[in-house]
Amino acid sequence: MTFPKGQTKLTEAQREKLFDLIVILSKNPAYQIAISGHADAGEADSCSAGRLRSVVNELTKRGNISATRIVEVDESKFKPVSTTNRDKNRRVSFSLTTTSKQDVVRQFNVAKANTLTLEEGYFQKGDNKFIDGITWKTGKQTLEKSGRFVVIDVTNVDMARTKTLGEARGQVINDYQQYLEKNWVESLRKQFPVQVNENELKKLK
């Protein structure tokens, strides 16, 4: 985002651009942003800090973006990008990073779907064809399966044990639903006995 010479306040057009950034940060809570303020050699030393402060205030006050997600860097006049187009030196620059692995997966898959997939959790034998294809020990292992290159990082291997309720939650819910359905069907059969009309049945043959 560039500024006219000596200017540190945001224009309405710049506020509109920052609104797009606010939307991105709001939709992606794992995103962190580094903001750098810059000035040209012919400007006052305070210009870079003023520009930086204007942008940060817009994000935190108007956009309600937490200051803990923002890294501020006053580059002053130390990183000019052009000697012929001085406007480019009067700028604020942005860099987004993320703490979410799923954000990284999304970015890889923008150009081509299913380029990268990520699964995390506890697995038992038979749960996952990739896990079943490795040695059960801690550490990183790689393999090729079903036309895909797979990296598996095993952080822990538990001894055989009974699952906790949290681990077995899905199976417990599924079993209970089947139990309820079976009882419901039996109840319906008792309440509404099935009678077959043999004459009508013979007509269908």
As for how many domains the chain has, the answer is 3
Range of the domain at 52: 12-102
Residues 17 and 95 in one domain: yes
Tokens of 23: 């939307």
| 5 inside domain | no
**Residue 106 has what pLDDT?**
86
Torsion angle of the four alpha carbons 62, 67, 70, 72, in this order, in degrees rounded to the nearest 10: 100
Q: What angle do CA 146, 147, 152 make, to 5 degrees?
A: 75
Taking a C-beta distance cutoff of 8 angstroms, is the pair 93, 38 a contact?
Answer: yes
Q: What is the mean pLDDT of the segment spanning 99-125? A: 85
The conformation of residue 76, written as its DSSP 8-state character, comes to E
Residues 55 and 69 in one domain: yes
Tokens of 114: 């299913």
Tokens of 10: 């945001």
Question: Reduced to 3 states, what is the DSSP secondary structure of residue 24?
Answer: helix
Q: Which of 12-21, 61-70, 158-167, 169-178 has the lowest mean pLDDT?
A: 158-167
Q: What is the mean pLDDT of the segment spanning 179-201? A: 86
Residues 133 and 187 in one domain: no
Residues 6+ apart with CB under 8 A from 26: 63, 64, 65
Residues 33 and 83 in one domain: yes
Q: What is the mean pLDDT of the chain?
A: 89
Residues 78 and 124 in one domain: no
Question: Reduced to 3 states, what is the DSSP secondary structure of residue 46?
Answer: helix
pLDDT value at 205 more than 70: no
| 89 inside domain | yes
Residues 33 and 59 in one domain: yes
82 band by pLDDT with thresholds 50, 70 and 90: confident
Q: What is the mean pLDDT of the segment spanning 132-149? A: 87
pLDDT value at 170 more than 90: no
Q: What is the mean pLDDT of the segment spanning 66-77? A: 95
Taking a C-beta distance cutoff of 8 angstroms, is the pair 138, 156 a contact?
Answer: yes
Helix (H), strand (E) at residue 91 = none
